[in-house]
Structure 1
Amino acid sequence: MDDIKIGEILLPGDEETQKRQETNVRAKFWPTMKKAMRQVPFSRDVIAAFYCATDRQTPLRVRGVLLAALGYFVLPLDAVPDMFALIGFTDDIAVLTTAIALINGHIKDRHYESADRMLADAPEEGAA
């Protein structure tokens, strides 16, 4: 992460950039989240951030910051490759933690309720 500044990653970008970022995040979020669920200690917050970022009622700048962070999270090649167990998601966690702290208060109860429903419906790992 030394070469990459979190502040640079979290730039919200213009509307066109956000549209591209949202398309990428929507396509890759759930497969990435499924792999990361046990390694990201605040999965509920990350999922609520996804719902906040894709909510048209969320202010554009907030959506941009979250989409940038989630875009980094779903990026297959980042500062620390996610395939490395335990440490692979540490850079993603740093970016997501910063983004969530920056937009604190914009993730609404409805976003957390959606996250809770998804987590309740998620199959347990190893379950057939």
Structure 2
Amino acid sequence: MSSNRLERLKSHILPKNKIRAMASPVTTHVLNTANGVPGAKIALSLHRLDPSTETWLLINTGLTNADGRFPGLISQQQFLCGVYKLRFETAQYWESMGETSFYPYTEIVFTVSDADQKYHIPLLLSRFSYSTYRGS
């Protein structure tokens, strides 16, 4: 069953406010710009900086899906203002395709100043470069 079909079914079963509550306030999308494909099966982790100890607290880990996304990164209840870090294990990704990479991992550190907003953090990736921006 396609994900679009599942989303349509979900919208008929759950009220819209329940669907919105289930959506992660932080999303990511990895694109392999070298090959023009989504960055599938990339290990990633999300962390929040504890301001009192200056240590990173692990929130979630997983792999990007076939579309280069990781749904459910953080729940709205866990989401607080502060400094966050998304870490992508890029060397493992490139090695899985028989390639090498200049960057063994990529970390994107960003500040959340309004926990009621959505933060979309795309990663555009090649073996020797990467870029990111705050998407919508």
Higher strand share: 2
Range of TM-score over shorter length: under 0.3
TM-score, structure 2 normalization: 0.24
Q: Which protein has greater RCO, CA pairs closer than 8 Å, 6+ apart? A: 1
Larger Rg belongs to:
2
